[in-house]
A = this chain, B = another copy of it.
Amino acid sequence: MERIERHASHGGVQEVWKHASSALQCEMRFGIYLPEAAARGEKCPVVYWLSGLTCTEQNFIGKSGAQRYANEHGLIVVSPDTSPRGEGVADDPAYDLGQGAGFYLNATQQPWAKHFRMYDYVADELPALIEARFPVTEARSIFGHSMGGHGALTIALRNPGRYRSVSAFAPIVAPSQVPWGEKALTAYLGDDRAAWKHYDTVELLKDATERLPLLVDQGDSDEFLDRELKPELLRAACEAAGHRLQLNVRAGYDHSYYFIASFIGEHLAYHAKALR
Judged by a CB distance under 8 angstroms, whether A62 is at the interface is: yes
* Complex interface bits, A115-151 against B, C-beta within 8 A gives 1, otherwise 0: 0000000000000000000000000000000000000
A262–B9 contact, CB under 8 A?
yes
Residues on B with beta carbons closer than 8 Å to the beta carbon of A261:
9-10, 65, 67-68
A47-69 near B? 1/0 per residue, CB < 8 Å: 00000000000000011010110
Contact partner, A14, options B68, B219, B258, Cβ 8 Å: B258
Q: Which of A18-26, A100-108, A231-239, A248-256 contacts B (4 or more CB under 8 A)?
A: A248-256
Whether B8 pairs with A254 at a CB distance below 8 angstroms is yes
* Stoichiometry (number of copies): 2
A257 within 8 A of B: yes
A11 within 8 Å of B (CB atoms): yes
Q: A9 to B65, Cβ gap below 8 A? A: no
Query: A227 in the interface, Cβ–Cβ < 8 Å?
Result: no
A-B contact pairs, 8 of them (CB 8 A): A7-B254, A8-B253, A8-B254, A9-B259, A13-B252, A62-B63, A67-B258, A68-B261
Which residues of B sit under 8 angstroms from A253, Cβ to Cβ? 7-8
Contact between B252 and A8, CB atoms less than 8 A apart: yes
Query: Which among B10, B65, B252 is the interface contact of A68 at CB below 8 angstroms?
Result: B65
Asked if A159 is an interface residue, CB under 8 A from chain B, the answer is: no
